[in-house]
Amino acid sequence: MKPLADCKLYTFVDTAYLHGRAPELVAQQLCDGGSDLIQLRAKNSSPEEIRAMAEKILPVTRRANVGFVINDHLDIAHEIGADICHLGQEDFFDAGFKNVSELKIQNSKLKIGLSTHAPAQAQRALDAGADYIAIGPIYATGTKPSAKPVTLKYARWAAANATVPWFAIGGINLQTLDAVLAAGVKRICVVSAILNAPDIAKACAEFRQRLQ
């Protein structure tokens, strides 16, 4: 995969939006459309199901030189050789971890990304050595309906203060993108606006073009 600093479009194989489509085929469409990173997010699947999906997606991302991210499941990320594991605040700080070095096994190149929802959380994640942080949700989003939007004010804070690559997430679509970019955002995560599009690869390519 390319360096995180060069990654701009972060997309998802989210099982909530697959509607019967094969995860590896969706991953291929995301790669074809120009994704830099693809996260497997399967909140209601068992570890065995997640591992099976991940093992089918990984060869697709490898061929395309796209970074593969496992959400939540650190052990699966290590075992299958994923590039990154993404964790929420509750999976990291609430679980008693203080530094990402505590999660890395010897000789592993696994990177760790952390979700953040406020400047204080972002600073804590930076201090903990996160390889990247996600900031959001910028806007209300059906992907996480209970999460309160953090607004573009937080994006402007990140643009001025974040010392590692950071990605804005939450309600970002082609209509909201201009305002997001104007706030200093250079990297975005997009879930439903791509997975709900009639043509996933084409939707990806449209975001990619706007990010150039």
Summarize pLDDT for 50-89 with one digit per residue, the tens: 999 999 999 999 999 999 999 999 999 999 999 999 999 9
Closest CA to 114 of 77, 138, 83, 88: 88
- pLDDT value of position 161: 96
The pLDDT value given to residue 116: 96
- Domain 4-211 in this protein, CATH class: alpha beta
Query: Is the model's pLDDT at 212 over the cut of 90?
Result: no
Residue 132: strand pairing partners: 113
Return the sign of the alpha-carbon dihedral for residues 190, 195, 199, 201: positive
Predicted local confidence at residue 151, as pLDDT: 84
The least confident of 35-49, 103-117, 184-198 is 103-117
The domain segmentation of the chain, as residue ranges, is: 4-211
17-21, 37-41, 104-108, 130-134: least confidently modelled range:
104-108
